[in-house]
Structure 1
Amino acid sequence: MKVTQGARSGAGRYGNDGLRTYLDVLSDLFYPRRCAGCESRASDVLCRACCEALPLIEDERCGRCGLPTAFDTPVCEWCKTRDYAFDTAVAPVRYEGPGRGLVRALKYDGDFAAASRVMAPLMVEALGERSCDVVVPVPMHPARRRKRGFNQAVVIAGEVAGRIGRPLVDRLRTVRRVRDQVELNASERRENVRGAFRFEDGAGGRKKVGGAVLLVDDVFTTGATLSECARALVGAGAREVHAVSFCRTC
């Protein structure tokens, strides 16, 4: 599978729309865009080289946690002893190279085009035959969200929801502050997020969520956060929870 360079690249850029081409050239000249993968000058989110080097997960994978495996299996050796609350999890890209660069461009540079042009389309494709009734983003603690200005999971989830024609339901809440998961091992991550999430209505009370839920995040590392979020959704009435993230550590 190849990732397209976007609407401004290729033959369309040099077609009959002379004004658009002229404006694009001026934009690149005065406000040059940098590739999210290698930071070289580019006309889109990724340069052609990084587009071709995007570490897609195209091999067989575990049907439960999405880990690449030697052959298709419903449960792999890595996750068979883990008590995940979600039914399945999948990600289209490994968390390395241009994949990591796209996540960082969205999270730290506020590059929403990374989500709309590359991340969401690949995530929708990775979902395959999975279906859902609502799309729910993994929440961020209010203090962290104020500091960053946005929750990247909400941005991605909104793009995914629009592409599959399902409503975005941003009602999952962080009920206590948790430590940054980056420096924690697997067991510490599970303990860190235990009981940290709750599904609420707009007034702050409990509310039921029915049917199948698509839970969205940017990166799957150990699955601890996604699992605990799924546990809160199941507790609120979800029939099943399928998780999708853009990247997965492998």
Structure 2
Amino acid sequence: MNTYIESFLELLYPEKNTCFFCDAYDESIGEKYICSECETLIKKIIPPVCSKCSKPIDYNSSTNLCPDCSSYENHFEVSKSPFAYEGLIKKGIYNFKYHNKPYFSKFFGNCLVDYMEKTNYVSFDYIVSVPLHITKMRSRGYNQSELLAKHISNKLSIPYVDALKRTKLTPKQSSQSKEARRKNLNNAFSVKENSSVNLIKNSSVLLVDDVYTTGSTADECSKALLDFGVDKVYVITIAR
């Protein structure tokens, strides 16, 4: 199913000079998929940020960690995000996930690749993605995190491995408290049982997701990967 979707992204939205956000047409847009006016509305995350999860922190912070990372030790090495989860980016991610717009993976994927290259966040052996539960996958038809991960894989020539599966169908995370999210996601992910997944043992892996909120999803996925034998897990999301 995923291969089918990826093959027809261009047919779903073939116009390279049309802004994905406002539908404006301009030949200068090209493969950026966003017009200059909409681009000014996007809020980028700028330093200083938490050295662990990239959450913006106060200049007067006595440590390099945000309060959350100071009180809870996540299993991943570091998580990075180029954008703040608000405004146009928030709307775009919502459309990407819930309004049947898989072609948004081209815009967000390009943004992530550009950000990763500029910050030298590219030294990984493999790329994996946060999985959807099979029930949600059947309903949505595609996994937005997988589309992003494969886009990054293709652009940076880092192999993508379909390594993780979701074993628990959990409530919508955005409606849950931080404590409830951690409880709901406890042991919600596991590594698939096939020979190709063995490639990621003793390697550094980049985990791709759309949004970093409390870090519960990234942490649980990282834990499953480390328990399997992955050496280190790094995380990238569109926004946080």
Normalising by structure 1, we get a TM-score of: 0.78
Instruction: Report the number of matched residues.
Output: 215
Q: Is the 8 A contact 2:161 2:197 kept in 1?
A: no
- Aligned partner of 2:23 in structure 1 is 41
Q: Identify if the C-alpha distance between structure 1 residues 201 and 81 changes in structure 2 by more than 3 Å, giving closer, same or farther.
A: same
Contact between 1:200 and 1:207, CA under 8 Å: does it hold in 2?
Answer: no
Q: Which has the larger radius of gyration?
A: 1
1:62 aligns with 2:44: no
1:107 to 97, 100, 111: 97
Name which of 120, 126, 139 aligns with 1:129: 120
SS of the equivalent of 2:40 reads helix
Matches of 1:66 and 1:58, distance apart in 2:
9
Amino acid at match of 1:124: V
Alpha-carbon deviations, 1:29-57, whole Å to 9, x = none?
xxx96742xxx332364333211111111
CA distance in structure 2 between the aligned counterparts of 1:240 and 1:74, rounded to whole angstroms: 21
**What is aligned with 1:15?**
none
68-77 or 183-192, larger mean C-alpha shift: 68-77
Partner SS, residue 177 of structure 1: coil
How does 1:151-190 map onto structure 2 within 5 Å? 151-190=143-182
Show the counterpart of 1:148: 140
Please state whether the residue corresponding to 1:121 is helix, strand or coil. Answer: helix
Identity %: 27
Alpha-carbon distance, 1:182 to partner: 1.5
1:62 is displaced (CA, Å) by 1.1
- Code of the aligned partner of 1:246: I
Q: Does 2:175 match 1:193?
A: no
Which has the higher mean CA deviation after the structures are superposed, 145-154 or 163-172? 163-172
Tell me the TM-score normalized by structure 2.
Answer: 0.81
Structure 2 CA distance, aligned partners of 1:88 and 1:56? 18
Q: Which runs of 5+ in 1 are unaligned?
A: 1-26
Aligned residues: CA RMSD: 2.5
Report the CA distance shift for 1:87/1:229 in structure 2 as closer, same or farther (over 3 A): same
Q: SS of 1:214's equivalent?
A: strand
Residue 152 (structure 1) shift: 0.3
Matched, 1:94 2:84: yes
Contact 2:102/2:142 (8 A) holds in 1: no
The yes-or-no answer on 1:50 pairing with 2:38 is yes
For 2:155 and 2:64, the matched residues in 1 are separated by 27
Match of 2:10 in 1: none
Please tell me whether the aligned partners of residues 129 and 162 of structure 2 are also in contact (alpha carbons under 8 angstroms): yes
Q: Would you say the 8 A contact 1:115–1:155 is kept in 2?
A: yes
Task: Tell me the distance in 1 between the aligned counterparts of 2:67 and 2:135.
Answer: 38
For 1:23, the equivalent position in structure 2 comes to: none
C-alpha displacement of 1:206 = 8.3
